[in-house]
């Protein structure tokens, strides 16, 4: 998917919502455990219930890996089930030397048909560009993350710029080489920085985790993060998919997604 298509989708649905499919087999409702593929059955019901309100879906790879080989089958079925007109993100945070990064890109973009992958910048440009080589396939590069440990290294400052600012700056030069293929992960818990980060990367899409369980402020994110193309994908995982752990889980997920979409709508 290209950035202008994602911008249109945001306008059409009046939503920045990305639903995080952090599907933990230990937390899905009892009655689904007898399904042939409980993880997929859960994801399918969540997708059906949230699709009117969401523009993107983000499976967290850790949860599928943890289920063993069958977890990857559940992931494949989930990707195949998602309509082609929503945006998809493999939350994998990969980052490795060129020939290895190529293999990861091949997996996520070809075997699983994701639109994008989250990527760690620690190893530099040659660890990221293999994810940028196909038009319409993106990397979301970790910028300033939502967790407490973000401060350990991301604020490391050379007097002119902090590490995360250097990542934003260099990431945009990569985007110049591969137009429209680089976005950034910017945590919702860093709302005091959101306005500044938007001025540092005015045209980029930000994937914003950290509202809900991690405590980020949705309105501040929208207010300070939006740009003319929308520019935001705001993720909620646990707050939506585990809104209820009973038989009504899908209905509750739909309601939680609708409530977030309504809060976002005025900013889209």
* Binding region for a second copy (CB under 8 A): 22, 24, 60, 62-63, 65-66, 68-70, 72-73, 76, 91, 93-98, 100-101, 103-104, 106-107, 111, 120-128, 142, 145-154, 156-159, 163, 166-167, 170, 214
- We find the least distance from the C-beta atom of residue 20 to a second copy, in angstroms, to be 10
Contact predicate 185/147, CB 8 Å: no
- We find the least distance from the C-beta atom of residue 74 to a second copy, in angstroms, to be 10
- We find the least distance from the C-beta atom of residue 113 to a second copy, in angstroms, to be 13
Cα dist from 208 to 233, 234, 247, whole Å: 6, 5, 30
| Closer residue to a second copy (CB): 163 or 259 | 163
DSSP states of 151-187: HHHTT-B-SS-BHHHHHHHHHHHHHHHSTT-EEEEE-
- The secondary element (H helix, E strand) that includes residue 232 is strand 232-236
| Closer residue to a second copy (CB): 174 or 267 | 174
Mark whether 11 is an active-site residue.
no
Catalytic residue among 44, 76, 77, 93: 93
| Bridge-based pairing state of the strands 206-208 and 232-236 | parallel
Contact predicate 84/48, CB 8 Å: no
| Closer residue to a second copy (CB): 191 or 261 | 191
- We find the least distance from the C-beta atom of residue 36 to a second copy, in angstroms, to be 15
How big is the chain, counted in residues? 268
CA gap 189, 243 in Å, rounded: 21
CA gap 220, 236 in Å, rounded: 15
- We find the least distance from the C-beta atom of residue 261 to a second copy, in angstroms, to be 24
CA gap 235, 16 in Å, rounded: 8
Active site residues: 93
């Amino acid at each position: 998917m290209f950035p202008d298509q994602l911008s249109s989708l945001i306008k059409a649905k009046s939503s920045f919502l990305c639903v995080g499919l952090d599907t933990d087999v230990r937390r899905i409702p009892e009655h689904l455990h007898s399904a042939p593929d409980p993880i997929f059955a859960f994801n399918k019901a969540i997708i059906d219930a949230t699709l009117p309100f969401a523009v993107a879906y983000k499976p967290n790879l850790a949860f599928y890996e943890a289920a063993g080989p069958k977890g990857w089958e559940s992931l494949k079925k989930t990707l195949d089930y998602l309509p082609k007109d929503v945006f998809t993100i493999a939350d994998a945070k990969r980052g490795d030397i060129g020939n290895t990064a190529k293999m990861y890109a091949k997996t996520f973009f070809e075997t699983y048909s994701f639109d994008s992958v989250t990527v760690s910048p620690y190893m530099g440009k040659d660890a990221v560009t293999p994810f940028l080589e196909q038009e319409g396939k993106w990397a979301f590069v970790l910028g300033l993350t939502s967790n407490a440990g973000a401060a350990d290294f991301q604020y490391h400052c050379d007097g002119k710029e902090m590490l995360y600012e250097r990542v934003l700056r260099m990431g945009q030069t990569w985007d110049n080489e591969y137009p429209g293929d680089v976005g950034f992960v910017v945590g919702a818990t860093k709302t005091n920085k959101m306005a500044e980060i938007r001025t540092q990367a005015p045209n980029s899409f930000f994937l914003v985790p950290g509202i809900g369980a991690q405590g980020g402020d949705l309105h501040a994110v929208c207010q300070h993060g939006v740009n003319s193309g929308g520019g935001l994908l705001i993720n909620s995982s646990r707050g939506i998919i585990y809104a209820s752990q009973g038989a009504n889980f899908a209905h509750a997920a739909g309601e939680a997604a609708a409530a977030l979409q309504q809060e976002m709508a005025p900013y889209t």
